[in-house]
Amino acid sequence: MERGKQILIVDDDPVFREFTAGVLSAAGFTIEEADGGGTAIAKLKRHAPDLVLLDLVMPEIDGWGVLGHVDKLRPRPPVIVISGEREIVPPGNLTQCVNGYIFKPFRAAQLVQTCTDLSSRPSVIPITGSRKEARRTFIVEAIVYGEGSEPVARGRLVQLSAGGFRLELGTPIDPGRPVRIVFGMPGHERPVEISGVVRWTDALTIGAEVSTLSGSDEAVLRALFDLT
């Protein structure tokens, strides 16, 4: 991570802002704070940070209102939403403005790692070579299942497209093996589930091709990628 990259922390809770600002400042980030959605939008109109760390539940203008403004920015800064899993359903397709979720409660190390990754990676990985579709940088912790009903690992989803995903995990999985990842999304009654087949592995990272989705989970991916 290039030291000094700027993060805008948007949260109406001063204790939470102080905690996250202290953790991220110690990790080398430059911090700017906004105590609500209105203040955040005013700051974003003046200057786009390298990353936005956004709470959803705030009075007056909430996090979805801030995302509505972010959606109009070009280029759009990457956004990490900090949330409980059962927040309100977002209006429209505003989830396509989000590049990662951190659910409360979380670890300081998790916060730093997610911010470091998103501040140093492109938001969109374009079509190149044999890649048939663009992928988004999309970071969220996930539970990984194999062929059985018991989880085999916990990992981090780091890239996602309508047809595939990349996962970082501490347990290698051989190519050709089926995997199912489960992760939370604000505004959804149950976790999202994506089944796939491992196509390649590199150290502790795997790339998988999506094999099956339920109707509701397909709708989630369509919202994420604005697919019609």
CATH of the domain at 139: 2.40.10.220
Q: Both 91 and 157 in a single domain? A: no
The whole-chain average pLDDT of the chain stands at 85
Contact 71, 95 (CB under 8 A): no
Nearest to 2 by CA among 31, 22, 24, 29: 29
Q: Which domain holds residue 21?
A: 6-120
Range in 25-34, 129-138, 143-152 the model is least confident about = 129-138
Q: Both 133 and 217 in a single domain? A: yes
Rounded to an integer, the average pLDDT of 139-166 is 89
Answer with the residue of higher pLDDT: 28 or 124. 28
CA 163/CA 208 separation, integer angstroms = 9
Assigned domain for 76 exists: yes
Q: Residue 129's pLDDT is what? A: 63
Q: Residue 143's pLDDT is what? A: 93
Query: How would you class 32 by CB atoms within 10 Å of its CB: exposed for 0-12, middle for 13-18, buried for 19 or more?
Result: middle
Residue 228: band (very low, low, confident or very high) from pLDDT cuts 50, 70, 90 = very low
Rounded to an integer, the average pLDDT of 85-107 is 73
Q: Both 150 and 79 in a single domain? A: no
Q: What tokens were used for 113?
A: 């790692």
